Chains A and B, each alone.
Chain A
Amino acid sequence: QVQLVQSGAEVKKPGASVKVSCKASGNTFTSYSMHWVRQAPGQGLEWMGIINPSGGSTSYAQKFQGRVTMTRDTSTSTVYMDLSSLRSEDTAVYYCARGHSSSWIFDYWGQGTLVTVSS
Chain B
Amino acid sequence: QSALTQPASVSGSPGQSITISCTGTSSDVGSYNVVSWYQQYPGKAPKLMIYEVSKRPSGVSNRFSGSKSGNTASLTISGLQAEDEADYYCCSYAGSSSVVFGGGTKLTVL
Kindly provide the distance from the CB of B105 to the nearest chain A CB, expressed in whole angstroms: 10
Q: B52 within 8 Å of A by Cβ? A: yes
Tell me if B104 and A50 are in contact (CB < 8 A): no
Kindly provide the distance from the CB of B30 to the nearest chain A CB, expressed in whole angstroms: 15
**Residues of A contacting B40 with CB < 8 Å?**
45
Q: 13 A-B residue contacts at CB 8 Å?
A: A35-B99, A44-B3, A44-B103, A45-B40, A45-B46, A45-B89, A45-B91, A47-B98, A100-B48, A104-B99, A105-B48, A105-B51, A109-B47
Quick one: CB contact mask for A33-72 with B, threshold 8 Å, 1 for yes? 0010100000011110010000000010110000000000
Most-contacted residue by chain B among A97, A104, A110 (CB, 10 A): A104
Categorize the interface residue count of chain A.
20 to 34
List residues of chain B with CB under 8 Å of any chain A CB.
1, 3, 34, 36, 38, 40, 45-48, 51-52, 57, 89, 91, 93, 96-104
Provide the bound-state CA to CA distance between A107 and B6, in Å.
Answer: 21
7 new A-B contacts at CB < 8 Å, known A45-B91, A62-B98, A97-B46: A44-B3, A47-B91, A47-B100, A95-B45, A102-B51, A106-B46, A107-B51
Q: A17 within 8 Å of B by Cβ? A: no
Known: A44-B102, A47-B100. A105 touches B46 (CB 8 A): no
Most-contacted residue by chain B among A46, A106, A111 (CB, 10 A): A106
Kindly provide the distance from the CB of A116 to the nearest chain B CB, expressed in whole angstroms: 16
| Contact with B52, one of A47, A62, A105, A112 (Cβ below 8 angstroms) | A105
| Contact with A44, one of B36, B89, B96, B99 (Cβ below 8 angstroms) | B89
| Contact with A106, one of B36, B52, B104 (Cβ below 8 angstroms) | B36
Closest 9 CB pairs of A and B: A59-B97, A109-B45, A44-B104, A104-B93, A45-B101, A105-B51, A105-B36, A44-B103, A47-B99
